[in-house]
A and B are shown apart, each in its own frame.
Chain A
């Protein structure tokens, strides 16, 4: 399966040139861009690991792309990597854009557990196949 988190998961995988244009759009808006990676893409796993800090003072997408490539050298092919842009404007002060740039070679997806409880009620739990059998760091 292909997880569809992020703003552009329904488009064909992005080229570096396309990624750079999206990053430049964020920088031009005054947003700080960072790179995050994970081997547990559970929909409620909010905190992916940060590849360094948000790049508050980088004004050229090439700088961010350089860091993305450094991150890929370690995690490419076996982790998800996303680019996230933070807007510090008053009354927003949160993420403005987030999209996946890299995926593991294989995406096993998620199991849905159903615990049948009172009446017709069901308690649902989503579990990521990759995280079920192996510890962090050895999943893909």
Chain B
């Protein structure tokens, strides 16, 4: 074909593409099986479940279209733009293993589609409209590859694991925390009592619960004042840095800033926010925390409404990535053995995303892409909910040492009181790390190690006796789709 003929052909194609009317998304350029994603592209992996009779490729192309430039009909104004660049490109559609009717769609987005350093903008694009699209029965955002070029536009965690440890002067072991219980109803004075007892007994942190803000039974200033008395008194009693996560979550940013300023004025080293305050509020609080040398704890309140079911929503691994970019220092990331949802492999994936500088693709852990973090500070995962000292060996084996282990009931519910509960947990923790460092196999020898440690610690013996049979063995709903294949040795 001559050059002129080729040009004519291309022009005709363009005319057809932009004639008024409705056209299949796959024909509008949102399906490009030959496309090679660029290093700077954002890639999203969706689990797509089309309505009966809808072609999976057309459904996936529609997801690409609806999460980028498309609307339901052809618009001539596309031709005023570099529309080929701005169109998201679905380049691969695979059936989900063992799940008829669902497909994994890989979609690449040009970096120019997103505003620097804005989770609000990133999420408004990727999950903004498309989840309610009628031709789909269900849709789930499983994973995202965030290119270094985009990662670098975010500040990342205000403090990070290393600096947090330096500030707290605590190295080589998990940190220990507890949520004050009962979570509702205590007066400020009584609440501070729990904080003091737990910290003096051996915990590093205590924590407000997600729904402790400023209620009739305890206004926030009362809580902050009594908690800081407790923290300072425990610090003097032990010679160790202590902290309590003061939850500054409130109805407006102005209220949150006021509470955070008061926490700083009282000398607190950490504040807390809830995920429900929203991505922009989280980023604002992260910037505040950076300016004020404050550790920022995030409680993932509300996440299970959209992360837990595999068919529809957003995976927690995506939320984890967004939160490391947004700049929180702590995030609840599951316990595996406790009372809340958490498959061991999926949870391992979240922990890697929090703590590693480079996370390689690992389908068995639900990680679909290599994720470089480009020296973004590390995010401390928090394990909380139905865990106790008797599980210490399993927790350390599964979660490692850069984690906050929070034993709320397991501290406050101790038969001999809160100090005894805290001491039991701390002794169990130190004994297990000590044994691990000595080269012992803690997973198999764990119960013996705990029993030996309990010989010089009565509270630990009582804790082990009280909770020895407590387990939460239920099947997880959010599990990886790929299982490791055993290959024959050559």
CB closest chain-A residue, reference B358: A91
Q: Does A66 count as interface, using CB distance less than 8 angstroms?
A: no
Complex CA distance for A124 and B228, rounded to whole angstroms = 9
Q: How far is the CB of B258 from chain A (nearest CB, A)?
A: 14
> Quick check: B238 and A3 within 8 Å, CB to CB?
yes
Complex CA distance for A25 and B172, rounded to whole angstroms = 11
Q: How far is the CB of B450 from chain A (nearest CB, A)?
A: 13
Q: Does B474 count as interface, using CB distance less than 8 angstroms?
A: no
> Quick check: B239 and A10 within 8 Å, CB to CB?
no
Interface residues of A in 30-50 (CB under 8 A from B): 41-44, 46
Interface residues of A in 104-125 (CB under 8 A from B): 109-112, 120-124
Q: Contact mask B217-237 → A, CB, 8 Å, 1/0?
A: 000010001001100110111
Q: How far is the CB of B298 from chain A (nearest CB, A)?
A: 21
CB closest chain-B residue, reference A28: B439
Q: Contact mask A120-138 → B, CB, 8 Å, 1/0?
A: 1111101010000000000
User: Which of A11, A97, A128 makes the CB contact (< 8 A) with B431?
Assistant: A11
Q: Does B171 count as interface, using CB distance less than 8 angstroms?
A: yes
Q: Does B426 count as interface, using CB distance less than 8 angstroms?
A: yes
> Quick check: B172 and A91 within 8 Å, CB to CB?
no
User: Which of B423, B426, B438 makes the CB contact (< 8 A) with A22?
Assistant: B438
User: Which of A11, A97, A109 makes the CB contact (< 8 A) with B236?
Assistant: A109
Q: Contact mask A73-103 → B, CB, 8 Å, 1/0?
A: 0000000000011000011111111110000
Q: Does A53 count as interface, using CB distance less than 8 angstroms?
A: no
Count of interface residues, chain A, beta-carbon cutoff 8 Å: 42
Q: Does A51 count as interface, using CB distance less than 8 angstroms?
A: no
Complex CA distance for A112 and B438, rounded to whole angstroms = 38
> Quick check: A124 and B232 within 8 Å, CB to CB?
yes
- Of the candidates B171, B265, B430, the one having the most CB atoms from chain A within 10 angstroms of its own CB is B171
User: Which of A4, A110, A122 makes the CB contact (< 8 A) with B229?
Assistant: A122
> Quick check: A41 and B239 within 8 Å, CB to CB?
yes
CB closest chain-A residue, reference B262: A121
Cβ–Cβ < 8 Å partners of A18 in chain B: 434, 438
Complex CA distance for A18 and B357, rounded to whole angstroms = 33
CB closest chain-B residue, reference A92: B162
CB closest chain-B residue, reference A41: B239
User: Which of A7, A22, A94 makes the CB contact (< 8 A) with B162?
Assistant: A94
Complex CA distance for A123 and B172, rounded to whole angstroms = 31
Cβ–Cβ < 8 Å partners of B172 in chain A: 7, 85, 95-99
Q: Does A56 count as interface, using CB distance less than 8 angstroms?
A: no
Cβ–Cβ < 8 Å partners of B405 in chain A: none
Complex CA distance for A8 and B171, rounded to whole angstroms = 10
> Quick check: A5 and B171 within 8 Å, CB to CB?
no
Complex CA distance for A90 and B235, rounded to whole angstroms = 32
Interface residues of B in 190-247 (CB under 8 A from A): 202, 221, 225, 228-229, 232-233, 235-241
> Quick check: B166 and A94 within 8 Å, CB to CB?
yes
Q: Does B22 count as interface, using CB distance less than 8 angstroms?
A: no
> Quick check: B434 and A8 within 8 Å, CB to CB?
yes
Q: Does B471 count as interface, using CB distance less than 8 angstroms?
A: no
Q: Does A12 count as interface, using CB distance less than 8 angstroms?
A: yes
User: Which of A3, A4, A44, A120 makes the CB contact (< 8 A) with B225?
Assistant: A120
> Quick check: A43 and B375 within 8 Å, CB to CB?
no
> Quick check: A43 and B169 within 8 Å, CB to CB?
yes
Q: Does B165 count as interface, using CB distance less than 8 angstroms?
A: yes
CB closest chain-A residue, reference B357: A91
Q: How far is the CB of B453 from chain A (nearest CB, A)?
A: 8
Q: Does B308 count as interface, using CB distance less than 8 angstroms?
A: no
CB closest chain-A residue, reference B456: A12
User: Quick one: given A95-B171, A98-B172, are A7 and B237 in contact (CB under 8 Å)?
Assistant: no
User: Quick one: given A11-B434, A99-B172, A120-B225, are A25 and B241 in contact (CB under 8 Å)?
Assistant: no
Cβ–Cβ < 8 Å partners of A5 in chain B: 169, 239-240
Other than the known A3-B239, A98-B172, A110-B237, what 10 A-B pairs have Cβ atoms closer than 8 Å?
A1-B238, A1-B239, A4-B239, A5-B169, A7-B170, A7-B433, A7-B434, A44-B169, A120-B225, A126-B236
Q: Please provide the 8 A-B residue pairs with the shortest distance between their CB atoms, ordered closest to farther.
A: A3-B239, A97-B172, A112-B236, A124-B232, A25-B437, A110-B236, A7-B172, A91-B357
Name 5 interchain pairs, CB-CB below 8 A, sorted by A: A3-B239, A4-B239, A5-B169, A21-B439, A120-B225
